[in-house]
Amino acid sequence: MINAKGQYASPSSVKLAGRTPFSDNRDRTLSYLRMLSADTMLYSFRRTFGVDTAGARAPGGWESSDVLLRGHSLGHFLSALSLAYASTGDAVYSDKLDYIVSELRSLQLMSRGDPAAFSTVCTPDNASPSLWSRDPSVWGEGYIGAYPPDQFALLEQLTPYPAIWAPYYTLHKLIAGVLECYARTGNSVALDVARGIGGWIAARLGAVPESRRREMWGLYIAGEYGGMNESLARLYEITGDEKYISAAKMFDNESVFRTLSRGEDAVRGLHANQHIPQLVGAVEEYRATGDEYYRDAARSFFDIVRGRHMYSIGGVGDSEKFTDGCDLAAHINKDHNCETCATYNLLKLARALFEFEPERADYMDYYERALFNHILASQSPTVRRNMHAGVTYMMPIGPGTRREYSDDYGTFTCCHGTGMENHVKYQDAQFLICDGDGGAVVYVNYLIPSRLSLPERGIEIAIDGKFPFDGYALTLSGGADYIVKLRVPDWASGPIAAGGDHMDESPYAVMEHKAGIDATERFALGYKLRLEYTPDKLDGDSVASLLYGPFVMAAKDPSEEFITLDIGGRELSDLFRVSCNREAGSLCLVGFGREFVPMYMAHHDRCHTYFKIK
């Protein structure tokens, strides 16, 4: 295994401070996780194994009993519960996940036999679930799922979607969830479940010829496997068992990885969220093996996506697929851009790459962009009887579009699953701690009001400010000497200290802390207005988003046609007036007869994210 340059501060050591949109979203999600029924989430698993469903209501949406992807949400639920416990220390979350993990393990132990020996009577032409096996004694030791393993056998026959629907994707969510339980709470039964799943996969795929596996991973959606290579590599790192890293390599999507490792664009037209997690897994395979082929592929993928395929809010895609590259304006549509799951996974990729290359501030430039403008904006602030933490599937950026949000039990899309995780881990990448010759080096990656407390290392850092406004205070204390490297965002004209001097930058402002001496630095980053253009034009017109500081500003307007902003060579600062209500936390630009607000404030209005520029 190869060591990263540093480690992120855990959620248990970083607390959000004060009331902000981040803490509001977090609190709604924590409430939802407390409310969500464990027995409902276990319903399809118990039904599949023929045991009592404990009188639970059946889940809806993509978790309905007739949907081929059912079971994926339980894995996200476990991951979210783990993160919630790590952030709060509240046993209500660990008790719930302990119960679920114990139930999963009892079902898993019902699966018997050789995983490679299981076969289905179904064929690609007749894959009806009515023909699926009902006998766990032949499913293979270690198998656990919300449906029998027939979909896996059908995938090996190259059965296309929608006859089957991404069986390894669903299984990945489950193994990822139990691994989070083990990592965040120390639940050893969760590790047993993960080892069982890993062993089943190793035996099953080990009997499939390599050429057939490559064909499987090339199948649209049917061959989607999430980040299974990531989870199996993590399992290897935990256990040292070689079969798990061997199994991880069985998921290498060679046709994509090899092209990317040469620096070539291999993503045009591909299903975005089918492939982003594969490259997150590649970084974990690099960590596990030290093979730079994996890191090169992941790094190249990130650079290509950010440079050619990314919209201003940090999202990608048109109807879940990457565009051809540099043709973003042509693909802006009513409501099918920027799948939230894809951004969730791009954040994971940027986070993983930065851990090995902390001097590449552009990873965190992206992270801040997507976190502030897509993820923060993806939860509704409105709580209703059946919608306690509604989240977006797509984040619409077309003219006059309005967001739609999931409900408590009737939706359970993939983005509802990742949405359970997104809002309890805002501090997940905020601080990276590296060991230096003169003490620790702490990278402060983005400015959310928070507190970092590492008493065992003598590090205490407080970030204060009135989000979303410019102006921050960074307080360093603790009993150790350490260095802080504050990322200077790519959009900033500062940081400018309270005395008017520019702080050291390029791309980090460096501060030193001496043991036992508290020091506070007050500064502003220098918010400014700017236009960010798409590479292409639309009907001969330039197309751009309007940004102010870190925020993409959406115009409130019900028109479903592109708005034209006639700039006429004038300065943007002459065309817009900044309107703030600091007490209410409201930031607004007024110009061209309209209000422009940050994406996270544009929840229920019809809005425009892109404009034609004259």
Residue 531 CA to residue 576 CA, distance in Å, equals 12
Average pLDDT over residues 190-211: 98
pLDDT of residue 192: 98
pLDDT of residue 124: 97
Closest CA to 476 of 499, 510, 445: 510
pLDDT of residue 436: 83
* Whether pLDDT at 293 is above 90: yes
pLDDT digits (tens, 9 = 90+) for 240-262: 999 999 999 999 999 999 999 99
pLDDT digits (tens, 9 = 90+) for 38-67: 999 999 999 999 999 999 999 999 999 999
* Whether pLDDT at 613 is above 80: yes
pLDDT band at 490 (very low <50, low <70, confident <90, very high): very high
Instruction: Evaluate whether 255 touches 304 at the Cβ level (below 8 Å).
Output: no
Residue 76 CA to residue 72 CA, distance in Å, equals 7
pLDDT of residue 171: 98
pLDDT band at 202 (very low <50, low <70, confident <90, very high): very high
Residue 588 CA to residue 401 CA, distance in Å, equals 19
pLDDT of residue 438: 80
pLDDT of residue 65: 96
* Whether pLDDT at 498 is above 90: no
pLDDT digits (tens, 9 = 90+) for 569-587: 899 999 999 998 888 889 9
Q: Return the CA Rg of the chain.
A: 24
Instruction: Evaluate whether 564 touches 539 at the Cβ level (below 8 Å).
Output: no
Burial status of residue 528 (CB atoms within 10 A of its CB: 0-12, 13-18, 19 or more): middle
pLDDT of residue 301: 98
Angle at 47 between CA 46 and CA 53, to 5 degrees: 60
Per-domain residue ranges of the chain: 23-251, 431-524, 529-613
* Whether pLDDT at 204 is above 80: yes
Direct distance between the N- and C-terminal alpha carbons of the chain, in angstroms, rounded to an integer: 54
Instruction: Tell me which H or E stretch contains 102.
Output: helix 91-108
Closest CA to 560 of 335, 371, 341: 335
Task: Report the CATH fold assignment for 431-524.
Answer: Immunoglobulin-like (2.60.40)
pLDDT band at 26 (very low <50, low <70, confident <90, very high): very high
Instruction: Evaluate whether 224 touches 218 at the Cβ level (below 8 Å).
Output: no
pLDDT digits (tens, 9 = 90+) for 503-543: 877 799 999 999 999 999 999 999 999 999 999 999 999 99
pLDDT of residue 569: 86
pLDDT of residue 532: 97
Task: Give strand pairing partners of 401.
Answer: 607
Average pLDDT over residues 124-149: 98
* Whether pLDDT at 334 is above 80: no
CB neighbours of residue 220 within 10 Å: 12
pLDDT digits (tens, 9 = 90+) for 336-390: 999 999 999 999 999 999 999 999 999 999 999 999 999 999 999 999 999 999 9
* Whether pLDDT at 499 is above 80: no
pLDDT of residue 387: 96
